[in-house]
Amino acid sequence: MLKPVRSLRRMLKAREMEKKAGGSEADDALKRAEAAAAAIAGAGPRKASASRKVKLLVPREEIPWYPTIKPDLCNGCGDCQVLCKAGVFEPGPPDPAGIQRPKFVVAHPERCVVLCDKCVPVCTSGGIVMPDPKSIEKYIEYVDE
């Protein structure tokens, strides 16, 4: 029951991004949002580049790749927790007044899959930020299969 609502939220967010960006970037954002919605709905995983794999050159704990949540933007919807199979996100402390839902926090950053950024387009409030992929190039190497 909840999946169509989340898909609708993502498509509305993509349209909003289209209005701000305009042009082909917005079309790409809409396609990414629709692909993410299809992946969550069970239409199968998206295929990136099947012929290349990422090889880590250092232990995972030394690679600074994990999401950051902006607490002022997080609305506590939990879409990030539902999507992330690695279990990176958990609800934070409850609201002292008991009015709002608890905001989510990055509880296990070491579990985040390197170069995965699927949680960013799923966040309806835009509160998830990932580091620049170019900043971790020294920790990874691409290997052809």
Strands (E), the chain: 52-56, 68-69, 89-91, 104-106, 128-129, 140-144
Mean pLDDT of 109-119: 94
Give the model's pLDDT for residue 57. 93
Provide the sign of the torsion angle of the four alpha carbons 27, 134, 80, 52, taken in this order: positive
Residue 29 and residue 35: Cα distance in Å, rounded? 10
- pTM here is 0.61
**What percentage of the chain exceeds 90 in pLDDT?**
52
For residue 6, pLDDT over 70 is answered with no
Least confident of 42-46, 55-59, 140-144: 42-46
How crowded is residue 3: how many other Cβ atoms within 10 Å of its Cβ? 12
Give the model's pLDDT for residue 38. 56
**DSSP 3-state helix, strand, coil percentages of the chain (rounded to 5)?**
40, 15, 45
Tens of pLDDT, residue by residue over 58-111, are: 999 999 999 999 999 999 999 999 999 999 999 999 988 888 889 999 999 999
Give the model's pLDDT for residue 27. 56
pLDDT confidence band for 20 (50 / 70 / 90): low
Mean pLDDT of 105-124: 94
Q: Retrieve residue 137's tokens.
A: 């190039």
Provide the sign of the torsion angle of the four alpha carbons 53, 24, 2, 122, taken in this order: positive
For residue 26, pLDDT over 70 is answered with no
Residue 53 and residue 26: Cα distance in Å, rounded? 28
Give the model's pLDDT for residue 45. 43
